[in-house]
Amino acid sequence: MRAGPGQVLAGRYRLTDRPDPLRALAVDERTGDVVRLHGLELPAVLTSGQDPDEPVPEQAERLVRRVAAAGAAAPVHPRLLQGTGVFADGELLWTVEEEPAGVPLAELAEAGPVPPYRAAELAADLAGALRALHEAGLTHGNLTAGSVLVCEDGAAMLGGLLPGVAEEALAEELGGPGGRRRYEVRATLVGPVAERWPLDGGPAGDCWALGVLIQRLVTGRSPFPDRDVPELVTAVRDGRREPSTVCGPLAPLVERLLQPDPSLRPTAAGIRRELADLLVGAPEPADEERTARALALRPEAPLVPLTPRRRGRGGPSGEAVGAAAGPGPDRRPLIPPALLGPVLVGGVFLLLVLGVAAVVLFAG
């Protein structure tokens, strides 16, 4: 169903914007929350070309149950966007995800490479989200710049769990658990996105994807050729990629994350610890604007936005505070030392003149 703004899907999601056929913003009329809907086209074998009002075929229902189970098992974490629903509507399978105020990381990355220490900040947030998923026994499998939201306080939140599960489930539904057919279906669904093609799955595959994403952010390009899926998959298999040295201070970590042997890669918890050590030694911010984005590893809890102290209209300025405190070691004296002697002599002479004048006046 190609619904537009103002229409209600699944009896609760009122669309507010439809930037393209497979993405929409909506308000959940049950909670009042703003949510993002991701659509996945279901082939005719799953929908049987049925009317939208007819019952959903069994295969589509099976997909819905599988995606919903992943959403129910996902932990609640301050760096993880929560998937809140999944439903089939005609030829589309919709997944629903919370949508706090922020900007997609993909949009920020389009403006140019991200400085290494800022990329380290973002990666630390994502590693925290991955750690929570892995400890819950889940694999994300969809860590890309398009699945990350950068919030108003600068923190990165990892989304895309339910859309990724839906794509993998559909590839398996149509192509079987493995083999050429599943590869072809998955290539059509996922496309040549390097982060989505690790040699192995599970938590190690997520960590590999984070390494790819870090290098993409810092350099503005994928470490692997990604013009098409066959070339990309072959390059990943052969280890043919741009050296990690282009990542500057992040190079040692990225090099280990992109190791073909998953046992040589750090875990999500290890990644976060290593980034903490890196950020402790980050260069000091050089100006007030950079102070607002102070390079420090965020705690895994909701943050207060980092804002510099500015001179407010209702409060004393920095100069006023300094004046009230009295002269300090860096304050200039009111009278230059070179003039101090003449001023004293002149003062004594003036006092003598005034004294003589007073005597004459009273005697006279």
Mean pLDDT value across the chain = 83
pLDDT band at 305 (very low <50, low <70, confident <90, very high): very low
pLDDT of residue 24: 94
User: Over pLDDT 90: what percentage of the chain?
Assistant: 65
What are the distances in angstroms from CA 202 to CA 74, 125, 137, 234, 268? 15, 19, 9, 20, 12
Task: State which fold the 8-288 domain adopts.
Answer: Transferase(Phosphotransferase); domain 1 (1.10.510)
Pick the range with the lowest mean pLDDT from 64-73, 164-173, 252-261, 304-313. 304-313
Helix crossing, 268-280 with 116-135: angle to 10°?
Answer: 150
pLDDT of residue 303: 40
pLDDT of residue 43: 87
Model-level pTM? 0.76
pLDDT of residue 334: 47
Q: By C-alpha distance, which of 170, 174, 167 is closest to 140?
A: 167
pLDDT tens-digit readout, 114-165: 999 999 999 999 999 999 999 999 999 999 999 999 999 999 999 999 999 9
More confident position, 292 or 32: 32
**Other C-beta atoms lying within 10 Å of the C-beta of residue 274:** 19
**Over 70: is that where the pLDDT of 344 sits?**
no
Pick the range with the lowest mean pLDDT from 143-152, 188-197, 235-244, 318-327. 318-327
**Over 80: is that where the pLDDT of 195 sits?**
yes
Q: Residue 165: in which H helix or E strand, if any?
A: helix 161-175
* Rounded Cα gap, residues 45 and 48, in angstroms: 5
SS3 content of the chain, % helix, strand, coil (to 5): 50, 15, 40
pLDDT of residue 319: 32
pLDDT of residue 338: 54
pLDDT tens-digit readout, 49-79: 555 555 557 888 999 999 999 999 999 999 9
Q: What is the mean pLDDT of residues 258-264?
A: 96
* Long-range own/partner contacts, residues 234-240 (CB < 8 A, 24 or more apart): 236/194, 236/197, 236/198, 236/199, 237/199
pLDDT tens-digit readout, 78-125: 999 999 999 999 889 999 999 999 999 999 999 989 999 999 999 999
pLDDT of residue 51: 54
20: burial class by Cβ within 10 Å (0-12, 13-18, 19+)? exposed
pLDDT of residue 349: 64
pLDDT of residue 292: 40
Every domain of the chain and the residues it spans: 8-288
Amino acid identity of residue 37, one-letter, is L
> For residue 197, what are the contacts with CB-CB under 8 A and spacing of at least 6?
190, 229, 232, 233, 236
pLDDT of residue 336: 53
